[in-house]
Protein backbone atom coordinates (compact mmCIF):
# COMPACT_ATOMS: atom_id res chain seq x y z
CA UNK A 1 0.00 0.00 0.00
CA UNK A 2 2.76 2.42 0.91
CA UNK A 3 4.67 1.55 -2.24
CA UNK A 4 1.62 2.17 -4.45
CA UNK A 5 1.19 5.64 -2.95
CA UNK A 6 4.83 6.56 -3.29
CA UNK A 7 5.18 5.50 -6.93
CA UNK A 8 2.89 8.18 -8.42
CA UNK A 9 4.54 10.90 -6.41
CA UNK A 10 7.95 9.86 -7.69
CA UNK A 11 6.68 9.84 -11.26
CA UNK A 12 5.33 13.36 -10.86
CA UNK A 13 8.66 14.53 -9.48
CA UNK A 14 10.56 12.98 -12.36
CA UNK A 15 8.15 14.56 -14.92
CA UNK A 16 8.65 18.01 -13.45
CA UNK A 17 12.41 17.63 -13.58
CA UNK A 18 12.23 16.52 -17.23
CA UNK A 19 10.01 19.48 -18.25
CA UNK A 20 12.31 21.87 -16.41
CA UNK A 21 15.31 20.53 -18.27
CA UNK A 22 13.49 20.91 -21.60
CA UNK A 23 12.53 24.51 -20.82
CA UNK A 24 16.09 25.25 -19.92
CA UNK A 25 17.32 23.80 -23.21
CA UNK A 26 14.72 25.80 -25.18
CA UNK A 27 15.69 28.99 -23.43
CA UNK A 28 19.30 28.42 -24.22
CA UNK A 29 18.45 27.62 -27.85
CA UNK A 30 16.32 30.75 -28.29
CA UNK A 31 19.02 32.82 -26.63
CA UNK A 32 21.62 31.36 -28.95
CA UNK A 33 19.48 32.02 -32.06
CA UNK A 34 18.64 35.49 -30.85
CA UNK A 35 22.27 36.15 -30.18
CA UNK A 36 23.10 34.94 -33.70
CA UNK A 37 20.28 36.76 -35.61
CA UNK A 38 19.82 39.86 -33.56
CA UNK A 39 22.68 40.49 -31.17
CA UNK A 40 22.09 42.77 -28.25
CA UNK A 41 21.66 46.24 -29.61
CA UNK A 42 19.64 49.37 -29.25
CA UNK A 43 15.88 49.49 -29.96
CA UNK A 44 16.11 51.83 -33.04
CA UNK A 45 18.32 49.25 -34.77
CA UNK A 46 15.77 46.49 -34.14
CA UNK A 47 12.99 48.62 -35.58
CA UNK A 48 15.07 49.31 -38.66
CA UNK A 49 15.69 45.62 -39.21
CA UNK A 50 11.96 44.82 -38.87
CA UNK A 51 11.07 47.59 -41.31
CA UNK A 52 13.57 46.30 -43.89
CA UNK A 53 12.20 42.76 -43.56
CA UNK A 54 8.60 44.00 -44.04
CA UNK A 55 9.53 45.92 -47.19
CA UNK A 56 11.37 42.92 -48.58
CA UNK A 57 8.33 40.69 -48.10
CA UNK A 58 6.03 43.26 -49.79
CA UNK A 59 8.37 43.56 -52.78
CA UNK A 60 8.51 39.79 -53.07
CA UNK A 61 4.69 39.47 -53.08
CA UNK A 62 4.34 42.20 -55.69
CA UNK A 63 7.05 40.62 -57.85
CA UNK A 64 5.28 37.26 -57.77
CA UNK A 65 2.02 38.97 -58.82
CA UNK A 66 3.67 40.67 -61.76
CA UNK A 67 5.64 37.61 -62.74
CA UNK A 68 2.44 35.63 -63.18
CA UNK A 69 1.33 37.93 -66.01
CA UNK A 70 2.42 37.62 -69.66
CA UNK A 71 3.44 41.24 -69.87
CA UNK A 72 3.92 44.06 -67.40
CA UNK A 73 0.47 45.63 -66.94
CA UNK A 74 -0.40 49.23 -66.50
CA UNK A 75 -1.10 50.57 -63.05
CA UNK A 76 -4.83 50.52 -63.75
CA UNK A 77 -4.78 46.73 -64.30
CA UNK A 78 -2.68 45.88 -61.23
CA UNK A 79 -5.39 46.89 -58.75
CA UNK A 80 -8.15 44.70 -60.19
CA UNK A 81 -5.68 41.77 -60.13
CA UNK A 82 -4.84 42.23 -56.48
CA UNK A 83 -8.27 43.55 -55.43
CA UNK A 84 -11.04 41.80 -57.46
CA UNK A 85 -13.75 44.26 -56.31
CA UNK A 86 -11.85 47.25 -57.73
CA UNK A 87 -13.53 47.07 -61.17
CA UNK A 88 -17.06 47.25 -59.81
CA UNK A 89 -16.09 50.05 -57.45
CA UNK A 90 -14.43 52.01 -60.25
CA UNK A 91 -17.43 51.65 -62.58
CA UNK A 92 -19.75 52.74 -59.78
CA UNK A 93 -17.72 55.85 -59.09
CA UNK A 94 -17.02 56.87 -62.70
CA UNK A 95 -20.37 56.12 -64.31
CA UNK A 96 -22.84 59.00 -64.38
CA UNK A 97 -26.18 58.09 -62.88
CA UNK A 98 -28.92 58.00 -65.51
CA UNK A 99 -32.26 59.24 -64.28
CA UNK A 100 -35.10 56.93 -65.21
CA UNK A 101 -37.85 58.73 -67.11
CA UNK A 102 -41.17 58.64 -65.24
CA UNK A 103 -43.94 56.49 -66.66
CA UNK A 104 -46.99 58.21 -68.09
CA UNK A 105 -49.34 56.71 -65.51
CA UNK A 106 -47.14 57.98 -62.66
CA UNK A 107 -47.06 61.51 -64.09
CA UNK A 108 -50.82 61.55 -64.62
CA UNK A 109 -51.52 60.21 -61.14
CA UNK A 110 -49.44 62.93 -59.49
CA UNK A 111 -51.12 65.70 -61.50
CA UNK A 112 -54.74 64.47 -61.45
CA UNK A 113 -57.62 66.00 -59.54
CA UNK A 114 -59.74 63.89 -57.20
CA UNK A 115 -61.99 62.83 -60.08
CA UNK A 116 -59.00 61.77 -62.24
CA UNK A 117 -58.91 64.82 -64.49
CA UNK A 118 -55.72 66.32 -65.90
CA UNK A 119 -54.88 69.31 -68.08
CA UNK A 120 -52.61 68.42 -71.01
CA UNK A 121 -50.60 70.42 -73.50
CA UNK A 122 -47.91 69.46 -76.01
CA UNK A 123 -44.62 71.25 -76.50
CA UNK A 124 -41.82 71.14 -79.05
CA UNK A 125 -38.51 72.98 -79.21
CA UNK A 126 -39.83 75.95 -81.21
CA UNK A 127 -42.55 76.77 -78.67
CA UNK A 128 -40.32 75.96 -75.68
CA UNK A 129 -37.67 78.61 -76.32
CA UNK A 130 -37.36 81.37 -73.66
CA UNK A 131 -39.72 84.24 -74.45
CA UNK A 132 -41.77 82.02 -76.75
CA UNK A 133 -45.28 80.57 -76.53
CA UNK A 134 -44.82 78.47 -73.38
CA UNK A 135 -43.81 81.50 -71.30
CA UNK A 136 -46.92 83.40 -72.37
CA UNK A 137 -49.02 80.31 -71.63
CA UNK A 138 -47.77 80.20 -68.04
CA UNK A 139 -48.22 83.94 -67.67
CA UNK A 140 -51.91 83.66 -68.53
CA UNK A 141 -52.41 81.20 -65.67
CA UNK A 142 -50.66 83.57 -63.26
CA UNK A 143 -52.69 86.67 -64.17
CA UNK A 144 -56.03 84.92 -64.74
CA UNK A 145 -58.89 84.75 -62.24
CA UNK A 146 -58.62 81.53 -60.21
CA UNK A 147 -56.32 79.87 -62.73
CA UNK A 148 -52.93 79.74 -61.01
CA UNK A 149 -53.94 76.73 -58.89
CA UNK A 150 -54.83 74.83 -62.07
CA UNK A 151 -51.12 74.59 -62.89
CA UNK A 152 -50.94 71.85 -60.25
CA UNK A 153 -52.93 69.66 -62.64
CA UNK A 154 -51.12 70.58 -65.85
CA UNK A 155 -48.98 67.95 -67.60
CA UNK A 156 -46.68 69.12 -70.40
CA UNK A 157 -46.12 66.49 -73.08
CA UNK A 158 -42.70 67.20 -74.59
CA UNK A 159 -42.20 66.06 -78.18
CA UNK A 160 -38.40 66.38 -78.26
CA UNK A 161 -35.43 66.43 -75.89
CA UNK A 162 -34.99 70.21 -75.75
CA UNK A 163 -38.66 70.76 -75.01
CA UNK A 164 -38.45 68.20 -72.20
CA UNK A 165 -35.39 69.90 -70.74
CA UNK A 166 -37.14 73.29 -70.77
CA UNK A 167 -40.25 71.77 -69.21
CA UNK A 168 -38.18 70.42 -66.32
CA UNK A 169 -36.91 73.96 -65.72
CA UNK A 170 -40.41 75.46 -65.64
CA UNK A 171 -42.78 72.83 -64.31
CA UNK A 172 -43.08 69.76 -62.10
CA UNK A 173 -45.29 67.54 -64.31
CA UNK A 174 -43.45 66.70 -67.54
CA UNK A 175 -43.58 63.68 -69.81
CA UNK A 176 -41.32 62.90 -72.76
CA UNK A 177 -43.11 61.63 -75.87
CA UNK A 178 -40.37 61.33 -78.45
CA UNK A 179 -41.47 59.37 -81.52
CA UNK A 180 -38.97 57.06 -83.20
CA UNK A 181 -38.11 58.23 -86.69
CA UNK A 182 -39.87 61.60 -86.29
CA UNK A 183 -38.12 64.81 -85.27
CA UNK A 184 -40.43 67.53 -83.93
CA UNK A 185 -37.55 69.74 -82.79
CA UNK A 186 -35.88 72.61 -84.60
CA UNK A 187 -37.91 75.04 -86.65
CA UNK A 188 -41.59 75.67 -86.21
CA UNK A 189 -43.90 73.03 -87.66
CA UNK A 190 -45.89 75.25 -90.01
CA UNK A 191 -49.58 74.76 -90.54
CA UNK A 192 -50.52 71.88 -92.87
CA UNK A 193 -46.93 70.79 -93.59
CA UNK A 194 -45.91 67.15 -93.30
CA UNK A 195 -44.26 67.73 -89.91
CA UNK A 196 -47.34 69.55 -88.64
CA UNK A 197 -49.67 66.74 -89.68
CA UNK A 198 -47.49 64.09 -88.05
CA UNK A 199 -47.47 66.10 -84.84
CA UNK A 200 -51.26 66.48 -84.84
CA UNK A 201 -51.94 62.80 -85.46
CA UNK A 202 -49.39 61.76 -82.85
CA UNK A 203 -51.34 63.92 -80.44
CA UNK A 204 -54.64 62.18 -81.22
CA UNK A 205 -53.13 58.75 -80.64
CA UNK A 206 -51.55 59.86 -77.37
CA UNK A 207 -54.82 61.28 -76.05
CA UNK A 208 -56.44 57.92 -76.73
CA UNK A 209 -53.86 56.28 -74.44
CA UNK A 210 -54.68 58.77 -71.66
CA UNK A 211 -58.36 57.84 -71.90
CA UNK A 212 -57.49 54.14 -71.74
CA UNK A 213 -55.61 54.77 -68.48
CA UNK A 214 -58.88 56.08 -67.00
CA UNK A 215 -58.14 59.82 -66.98
CA UNK A 216 -60.42 62.61 -68.14
CA UNK A 217 -58.53 65.45 -69.75
CA UNK A 218 -58.70 69.04 -70.84
CA UNK A 219 -56.44 69.31 -73.83
CA UNK A 220 -55.17 72.80 -74.56
CA UNK A 221 -52.71 74.09 -77.11
CA UNK A 222 -50.00 76.18 -75.49
CA UNK A 223 -51.20 79.21 -77.48
CA UNK A 224 -54.52 79.13 -75.61
CA UNK A 225 -54.52 81.77 -72.89
CA UNK A 226 -56.36 80.81 -69.68
CA UNK A 227 -58.09 83.83 -68.12
CA UNK A 228 -60.71 82.09 -65.96
CA UNK A 229 -61.43 78.57 -64.71
CA UNK A 230 -63.16 76.82 -67.66
CA UNK A 231 -64.62 73.89 -65.72
CA UNK A 232 -67.73 75.84 -64.67
CA UNK A 233 -68.67 76.19 -68.34
CA UNK A 234 -68.34 72.58 -69.41
CA UNK A 235 -71.46 70.53 -70.09
CA UNK A 236 -72.15 68.08 -67.32
CA UNK A 237 -73.30 65.09 -69.38
CA UNK A 238 -71.26 65.44 -72.55
CA UNK A 239 -68.55 62.90 -73.43
CA UNK A 240 -66.64 65.03 -75.92
CA UNK A 241 -66.60 68.85 -75.81
CA UNK A 242 -64.55 70.95 -78.21
CA UNK A 243 -63.92 74.62 -78.92
CA UNK A 244 -64.84 76.19 -82.26
CA UNK A 245 -63.32 78.37 -84.93
CA UNK A 246 -66.88 79.38 -85.73
CA UNK A 247 -69.86 78.82 -83.42
CA UNK A 248 -73.37 78.84 -84.91
CA UNK A 249 -75.33 79.33 -81.70
CA UNK A 250 -76.29 75.81 -80.56
CA UNK A 251 -73.92 73.44 -78.73
CA UNK A 252 -75.28 70.29 -80.40
CA UNK A 253 -75.23 71.64 -83.96
CA UNK A 254 -72.90 69.44 -85.99
CA UNK A 255 -72.40 72.29 -88.46
CA UNK A 256 -70.26 74.11 -85.89
CA UNK A 257 -66.61 74.37 -86.99
CA UNK A 258 -64.54 72.66 -84.26
CA UNK A 259 -60.96 73.47 -83.33
CA UNK A 260 -58.83 70.68 -81.83
CA UNK A 261 -56.71 73.12 -79.85
CA UNK A 262 -59.06 73.00 -76.85
CA UNK A 263 -61.28 70.15 -75.70
CA UNK A 264 -62.64 68.43 -72.61
CA UNK A 265 -63.05 64.64 -72.86
CA UNK A 266 -64.31 62.19 -70.25
CA UNK A 267 -62.81 58.73 -70.08
CA UNK A 268 -65.32 56.01 -70.95
CA UNK A 269 -65.82 53.29 -73.55
CA UNK A 270 -67.50 55.70 -75.96
CA UNK A 271 -64.65 58.21 -76.05
CA UNK A 272 -61.98 55.50 -76.27
CA UNK A 273 -63.73 53.95 -79.29
CA UNK A 274 -64.17 57.40 -80.83
CA UNK A 275 -60.47 58.31 -80.55
CA UNK A 276 -59.49 54.97 -82.05
CA UNK A 277 -61.89 55.57 -84.92
CA UNK A 278 -60.69 59.14 -85.37
CA UNK A 279 -57.05 58.07 -85.53
CA UNK A 280 -57.76 55.18 -87.91
CA UNK A 281 -59.67 57.53 -90.21
CA UNK A 282 -56.44 59.36 -91.10
CA UNK A 283 -55.80 56.51 -93.56
CA UNK A 284 -59.10 57.01 -95.37
CA UNK A 285 -58.55 60.77 -95.47
CA UNK A 286 -54.84 60.73 -96.18
CA UNK A 287 -53.17 64.14 -96.06
CA UNK A 288 -55.93 65.83 -94.10
CA UNK A 289 -55.67 67.71 -90.83
CA UNK A 290 -57.17 66.05 -87.73
CA UNK A 291 -59.78 68.84 -87.58
CA UNK A 292 -60.79 68.20 -91.17
CA UNK A 293 -61.15 64.49 -90.46
CA UNK A 294 -63.21 65.28 -87.36
CA UNK A 295 -65.54 67.34 -89.52
CA UNK A 296 -65.90 64.36 -91.88
CA UNK A 297 -66.54 61.66 -89.29
CA UNK A 298 -68.74 63.57 -86.81
CA UNK A 299 -71.79 62.68 -88.94
CA UNK A 300 -70.87 59.08 -89.69
CA UNK A 301 -73.07 56.21 -88.44
CA UNK A 302 -70.32 54.79 -86.24
CA UNK A 303 -70.35 57.90 -84.01
CA UNK A 304 -74.12 57.61 -83.53
CA UNK A 305 -73.92 53.86 -83.00
CA UNK A 306 -71.51 54.15 -80.06
CA UNK A 307 -73.72 56.87 -78.54
CA UNK A 308 -71.02 59.56 -78.25
CA UNK A 309 -72.45 62.76 -76.77
CA UNK A 310 -70.77 65.70 -78.52
CA UNK A 311 -71.02 69.35 -77.50
CA UNK A 312 -69.43 72.39 -79.13
CA UNK A 313 -68.18 75.15 -76.83
CA UNK A 314 -69.53 78.67 -77.23
CA UNK A 315 -66.96 81.22 -78.45
CA UNK A 316 -68.46 83.71 -75.98
CA UNK A 317 -66.60 81.73 -73.30
CA UNK A 318 -63.96 79.91 -75.35
CA UNK A 319 -62.96 82.44 -77.95
CA UNK A 320 -60.07 82.77 -80.37
CA UNK A 321 -58.62 85.04 -83.01
CA UNK A 322 -60.90 83.38 -85.59
CA UNK A 323 -63.92 84.49 -83.53
CA UNK A 324 -62.96 86.51 -80.41
CA UNK A 325 -65.07 86.48 -77.27
CA UNK A 326 -66.99 89.74 -77.28
CA UNK A 327 -67.54 90.11 -73.52
CA UNK A 328 -64.43 90.00 -71.34
CA UNK A 329 -66.64 89.40 -68.30
CA UNK A 330 -67.54 85.98 -69.73
CA UNK A 331 -64.34 84.82 -71.38
CA UNK A 332 -62.59 81.71 -70.06
CA UNK A 333 -59.94 81.08 -72.70
CA UNK A 334 -58.67 82.77 -75.86
CA UNK A 335 -56.87 80.85 -78.59
CA UNK A 336 -54.33 82.30 -81.04
CA UNK A 337 -55.89 80.34 -83.90
CA UNK A 338 -56.27 81.57 -87.48
CA UNK A 339 -52.64 82.64 -87.29
CA UNK A 340 -49.68 81.77 -89.47
CA UNK A 341 -46.08 82.17 -88.33
CA UNK A 342 -44.45 82.38 -84.91
CA UNK A 343 -43.77 86.13 -85.04
CA UNK A 344 -47.38 86.96 -85.79
CA UNK A 345 -48.63 84.61 -83.10
CA UNK A 346 -46.33 86.01 -80.40
CA UNK A 347 -47.19 89.58 -81.37
CA UNK A 348 -50.93 89.07 -80.97
CA UNK A 349 -50.61 86.93 -77.85
CA UNK A 350 -48.67 89.68 -76.06
CA UNK A 351 -51.34 92.23 -76.99
CA UNK A 352 -54.01 89.81 -75.78
CA UNK A 353 -52.34 89.47 -72.38
CA UNK A 354 -51.97 93.24 -72.08
CA UNK A 355 -55.66 93.68 -72.95
CA UNK A 356 -56.50 91.37 -70.08
CA UNK A 357 -54.27 93.27 -67.63
CA UNK A 358 -55.86 96.55 -68.65
CA UNK A 359 -59.33 95.08 -68.20
CA UNK A 360 -58.52 93.66 -64.76
CA UNK A 361 -57.16 97.04 -63.63
CA UNK A 362 -60.55 98.70 -64.25
CA UNK A 363 -62.95 99.47 -61.39
CA UNK A 364 -65.78 96.96 -61.03
CA UNK A 365 -68.45 99.23 -62.48
CA UNK A 366 -66.35 99.82 -65.60
CA UNK A 367 -65.67 96.12 -66.02
CA UNK A 368 -69.38 95.44 -66.13
CA UNK A 369 -69.84 97.80 -69.03
CA UNK A 370 -69.62 96.18 -72.43
CA UNK A 371 -67.42 98.80 -74.05
CA UNK A 372 -64.05 97.21 -73.33
CA UNK A 373 -62.93 94.76 -76.03
CA UNK A 374 -59.86 92.99 -77.41
CA UNK A 375 -57.39 94.81 -79.64
CA UNK A 376 -56.64 91.57 -81.45
CA UNK A 377 -56.37 90.12 -84.03
CA UNK A 378 -53.76 92.33 -85.63
CA UNK A 379 -51.03 90.31 -87.34
CA UNK A 380 -53.10 87.13 -87.12
CA UNK A 381 -56.15 86.54 -89.27
CA UNK A 382 -57.81 83.91 -91.42
CA UNK A 383 -56.29 85.60 -94.46
CA UNK A 384 -52.81 85.05 -93.04
CA UNK A 385 -53.33 81.31 -93.45
CA UNK A 386 -54.20 81.76 -97.11
CA UNK A 387 -51.25 84.03 -97.88
CA UNK A 388 -48.42 81.91 -96.54
CA UNK A 389 -45.29 81.73 -98.65
CA UNK A 390 -45.34 78.67 -100.89
CA UNK A 391 -41.54 78.74 -101.12
CA UNK A 392 -41.29 77.61 -97.49
CA UNK A 393 -42.69 74.20 -98.47
CA UNK A 394 -40.50 73.20 -101.37
CA UNK A 395 -39.50 70.09 -99.47
CA UNK A 396 -42.93 69.57 -97.91
CA UNK A 397 -46.01 68.17 -99.57
CA UNK A 398 -49.08 70.25 -98.92
CA UNK A 399 -52.11 68.02 -98.46
CA UNK A 400 -55.56 69.32 -99.27
CA UNK A 401 -57.66 70.85 -96.53
CA UNK A 402 -59.72 73.92 -95.84
CA UNK A 403 -59.86 74.20 -92.06
CA UNK A 404 -57.79 76.53 -89.93
CA UNK A 405 -55.47 75.79 -87.06
Question: Mean pLDDT in each 10-residue stretch from start to end of the chain (405 residues)?
Answer: 47 47 48 45 69 72 55 45 50 51 94 98 95 98 98 97 96 88 53 73 96 98 98 97 97 97 98 98 93 96 98 98 94 96 96 97 86 91 58 42 39
- 160: domain CATH number is 3.90.550.10
Task: Label the pairing between strands 240-246 and 310-312.
Answer: parallel
pLDDT at 199: 84
Domain-embedded: residue 217:
yes
Domain-embedded: residue 25:
no
Domain-embedded: residue 46:
no
Boundaries of domain holding 241: 104-362+370-389
Q: How many domains does the chain have?
A: 1
Domain-embedded: residue 27:
no
Domain-embedded: residue 398:
no
- What is the pTM assigned to this prediction? 0.71
pLDDT at 138: 98
Domain-embedded: residue 381:
yes
Domain-embedded: residue 152:
yes
pLDDT at 342: 94
Distance between alpha carbon 225 and the CA centroid of its chain, in Å?
23
Domain-embedded: residue 64:
no
Amino acid sequence: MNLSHRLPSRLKTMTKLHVSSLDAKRSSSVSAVSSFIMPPCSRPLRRAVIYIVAISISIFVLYRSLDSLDAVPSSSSIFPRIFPSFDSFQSLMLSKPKLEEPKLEDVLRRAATRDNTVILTTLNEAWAAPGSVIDLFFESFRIGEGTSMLLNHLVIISLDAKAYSRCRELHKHCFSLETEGVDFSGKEAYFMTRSYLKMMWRRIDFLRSVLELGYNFVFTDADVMWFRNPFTRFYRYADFQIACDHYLGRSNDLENRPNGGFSFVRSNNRTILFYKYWYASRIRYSGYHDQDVLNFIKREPFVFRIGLRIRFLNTAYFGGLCEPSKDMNLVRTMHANCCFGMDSKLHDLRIMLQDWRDFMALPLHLKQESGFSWKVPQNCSLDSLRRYDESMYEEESEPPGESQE
